[in-house]
Amino acid sequence: MIIKPRVRGFMCVTTHPVGCEANVKQQIDYVKSFGAIPNGPKNVLILGASTGYGLASRIVSAFGSGAKTLGVFFEREGTADKPGTPGWYNSAAFHKFAEAEGLYAKSINGDAFSDEIKQKTIDAIKQDLGKVDLVIYSLAAPRRTNPKTGITHNSTLKPIGKDLVQNGIDTDKEIIKSFTLPAATQEEIDNTVAVMGGEDWQMWIDELADADVLAEGAKTTAYTYLGEKITWDIYWDGTIGAAKKDLDKRVIDIRSKLATLGGDARVSVLKAVVTQASAAIPVMPLYLALLFKTMKAEGTHEGCIEQVNGLFRDSLYGATPILDDTGRLRADLKELQPQVQDKVNALWAQINNDNINELSDFAGYKHEFLKLFGFEVDGVDYDADVNPEAPIANLL
């Protein structure tokens, strides 16, 4: 099968398995170039291990620290006549490279919110690892069924307290346009917090602790984004932000629980990057295109793997963690430098359809977006016939 990109809105409906593998290999090579992480993790559970920051966390754990990794994700396998999801191919590639270097790697494909998958994960830890010393929580999903109540909650991307009219990029037509978003109802806020907040993270840590599969000194972190004023109306002060603020509340109890093991729990703040989730937020493609332009000029541009590699080395396993006054670990400070944000704001005020490619790095945004699906990766022949079937041998 010859696979070409077909983009619809904020999704690409095709995926290239060879491109995904090459992208994973690039990330592995980047991490290995830094050498081993001193006193890094040994047995790592990654919840949401197949794309974005979760995938980067798995790569850094394995190839930066030699850790055994157990990944949990919910992806679709490719068939003879239909490509699978990017996360499936990313995970197949990760397994291939990890196993080639003798690194333990197993994965569970299923609904991480469910009791069934939690128990399956605990059983796998007991059988193969004994205990884990790091739990990464990087789940991103549009809905969640609470296993205790049976209620399915759906998340929304809306402002809180006011309707919002804000400029963004129509990525199909490649023009600047105004997006109008109505204010969220309280029910929509509550549902978004139920999906994207900290309740499931806390459930995972509680069940892992109760099953006695957390090692002495075990750590856990969940990822968040704060950003700056340009994105606050739709992000930090919107429904997603309400969910992320719930992480800040939940982490206090999680930290207290892990303290009995001499461990720690932190929310980690990472910079804005192109992910499947961020592409769905109306303002983010325009903000990212301007941010890329600015940070590349500053020489400070980073993607998922650079951010997570720095987080592990500087903070999670560094001698002097970078903390803010609320106790969050910070890896996003380059994005928030005043000269960067001032420049982004200035460009935001000037950009229009005529100068979109001059004032922003929309081309760079599109390139990073397509790379998520295995396209525009250096060294890949996209005219070659490829097999969309890529089994994962150690899938539990």
Phi-psi region of 81 (alpha: psi -120 to 50; beta: other; left: phi over 0): alpha
Instruction: Confirm or deny that 231 is annotated as ligand binding.
Output: no
Please state, as a whole number, how many other Cβ atoms lie within 10 Å of the Cβ of residue 161. Answer: 11
Terminal Cα distance for the chain, rounded: 28
73 annotated binding-site participant: no
Question: Contact at 8 Å (CB) between 202 and 254?
Answer: yes
Name the amino acid, one letter, at 117: I
Would you say 274 is a known binding-site residue?
yes
Q: Does 48 show up as a binding residue in the annotation?
A: yes
Q: Is 235 a catalytic residue?
A: yes
Residue 280 annotated in ligand binding? no
140 is in an annotated binding site: yes
For 95, which DSSP code? H
For residue 317, the SS3 value is coil
Helix (H, G, I), strand (E, B) or coil at 257: helix
Q: Is 225 annotated to bind ligand? A: yes
DSSP letter at 87 equals: H
- Is residue 49 annotated as involved in ligand binding? yes
Known binder of ligand: residue 138?
A: no
Q: Give Cα separations from 272 to 41, 52, 306, 331 (angstroms).
A: 26, 11, 12, 11
Question: Is residue 279 a known part of a binding site?
Answer: no
Q: 51 a known binding residue?
A: yes
The annotation status of 30 as a binding-site residue, yes or no, is no
**223 known member of a binding site:** no
Q: Is 161 annotated as a binding residue?
A: no
Which of the residues 89, 137, 223, 235 is marked catalytic? 235
Residues 6+ apart with CB under 8 A from 261: 209, 214, 215, 216, 217, 218
Phi-psi region of 390 (alpha: psi -120 to 50; beta: other; left: phi over 0): beta
- Is 149 annotated as belonging to a binding site? no
Distance CA(279)–CA(285), nearest Å, equals: 6
Considering Cα of 138, then 361, then 322, then 198, what sign does the dihedral take?
negative
CB 125 within 8 A of CB 118: no
**CA-based nearest residue to 90, from 347, 374, 320:** 374
Distance CA 72, CA 54 (A): 10
Task: Please enumerate, by residue number, every residue annotated as part of a binding site for NAD(+).
Answer: 48-53, 74-75, 111-112, 139-140, 244, 273-275
**Residues forming the active site:** 235
Annotated binding site: 48-53, 74-75, 111-112, 139-140, 225, 244, 273-275
- Known binding-site residues for substrate equal 225
